[in-house]
Amino acid sequence: MTVLYDADCSLCSFVRDWLVKQPQLVPLELVPAGSEEARRRHPGLDHGATLDEITVVGDAGQVYQGPAAWIVTLWALREHRPLAHRLSTPSGARLAKGAALAAAKWRGAPWPQGAQRTQKGGPQWGGRVYRSAEGWSYDPSWGWTYNPPGCDSDACAKPS
């Protein structure tokens, strides 16, 4: 399987480095999205879209994006295949989607003042706690957590 990832994204590069260290049941080839290599291998893909979210291409040409791409990537890993099976259920798919959305939010988040820059000039996460307005937060000591924002308006459903 070919995993297309954003090489200019520090989170994506971290996940790429983690993936290459994992024992694989199905070989993963990690290729920068939008690269000449990606265009050569998969000329029919929308390569602009592959920069927006993780895209996995199977050996028979199947294309997985977003949460499905994360699940099929976990499925390829020996130690994470059982997790992939759990995430492929309806309730697991909701969890996978939430994790993919959180990662997408993290990728697109404005960087804290003083964040480090990579050699290419792009931002690099500085290891501090990240919080989004949607209630997701990442603390390097604890990982991802979700605390839904409070309801301060009449737009919330009220029990009858």
Q: Please, which pLDDT band fits residue 7 given cuts at 50, 70 and 90?
A: confident
- CA atoms of 6 and 154, how far apart (whole Å): 40
Q: Quick check: 87 and 96 in contact, CB under 8 A?
A: yes
Average pLDDT over residues 135-139: 66
pLDDT number for residue 87 = 84
Q: What is the per-residue pLDDT across 17-45, written as a single tens digit (0 to 9) for each? A: 888 999 999 999 999 999 999 999 999 99
- Residues whose CB is less than 8 angstroms from the CB of residue 9 and which lie 6 or more positions away in sequence, other chains included: 107, 122
Average pLDDT over residues 1-8: 90
- CA atoms of 145 and 72, how far apart (whole Å): 23
pLDDT number for residue 40 = 95
For all residues of the chain together, what is the average pLDDT? 75
Longest Cα pair distance anywhere in the chain, in angstroms?
A: 59
Q: What is the per-residue pLDDT across 77-129, written as a single tens digit (0 to 9) for each? A: 999 899 888 888 877 777 776 766 666 555 554 444 434 444 444 444 445 55
List the one residue out of 63, 31, 25, 22 whose CA is nearest residue 44.
63
Q: How far is CA 49 from the centre of its chain?
A: 14
pLDDT number for residue 23 = 94
The DSSP bridge partners found for residue 116 are: 124
pLDDT at 160 over 80: no
pLDDT number for residue 29 = 96
Q: What is the per-residue pLDDT across 41-90, written as a single tens digit (0 to 9) for each? A: 999 998 988 887 789 999 888 999 878 888 899 899 999 899 888 888 87
HEC-encoded secondary structure of the chain: CEEEECCCCHHHHHHHHHHHHCCECCCCEEEECCCHHHHHHCCCCCHHHHCCCCEEECCCCCEEECHHHHHHHHHCEHHHHHHHHHHCCHHHHHHHHHHHHHHHHHHHCCCCCCCEECCCCCEECCCCCEECCCCEEEECCCEEEECCCCCCCCCCCCCC
pLDDT number for residue 125 = 46
Reading the block at residue 46, the tokens are 């929308």
